[in-house]
Amino acid sequence: MTSSPKQLQKQAPTRELAEAALAKTEARFYSSLDANDMIYQFDASRDYNPAPHLAAIKAPLFAINSADDQVNPPELGILETEIKRVAKGRYILLPITDLTTGHGTHSNPAVWGNYLQELLTLSEKPAH
């Protein structure tokens, strides 16, 4: 589960509701996922390491993470450290709110859309 514990608790505050939510999630996964696809997805990211190439990025780059992301937990400090290697890089840590949903926050532009607008505006400026 990669959602926000805060959101999961709100959605299913009792054991009965949590078990029902889990059963629903399992049923959805079993009906739509293929085990081979999951193995491929995990294997594809097993040795992914962008670090050696970060210094080559010349364009402005915003690295946005949510404080409740369990896939890329900010407590590890990896993104915060590595973004320094990107010349025009900026690390943005979104605080946990009622709109953040852990790793799934990346699919909610209502949370980070203002940063996208800022990045697009910054990217329009001619390089000096």
- Domain segments of the chain as ranges: 5-124
In this prediction the pTM is 0.78
Q: Kindly state the percentage of the chain with pLDDT values over 90.
A: 71
Rounded to the nearest integer, the mean pLDDT of the chain is: 91
* pLDDT higher than 80, residue 3: no
pLDDT bin (cut points 50, 70, 90) of residue 2 is: low
Tokens (6 digits) for 26: 């399992």
Task: Answer for the pair 86, 55: CB distance below 8 angstroms, yes or no.
Answer: yes
The mean pLDDT value for 79-92 works out to: 96
> What does the buried/exposed string (b/e) look like for 32-63 if buried means 16 or more CB atoms within 10 Å of the residue's CB?
eeeeeeeeeeeeeeeeeeeeeebeeeeebbbb
Q: How many CA atoms lie within 13 A of 32 on its CB side?
A: 6
The third-level CATH classification (topology) of the domain covering 5-124 is: Rossmann fold (3.40.50)
What is the enclosing helix (H) or strand (E) of 114?
Answer: helix 109-124
CB burial class (10 A; 0-12, 13-18, 19+) of residue 86? Answer: buried
Q: Note the pLDDT tens digit of each residue in 25-47.
A: 899 888 998 989 989 988 988 89
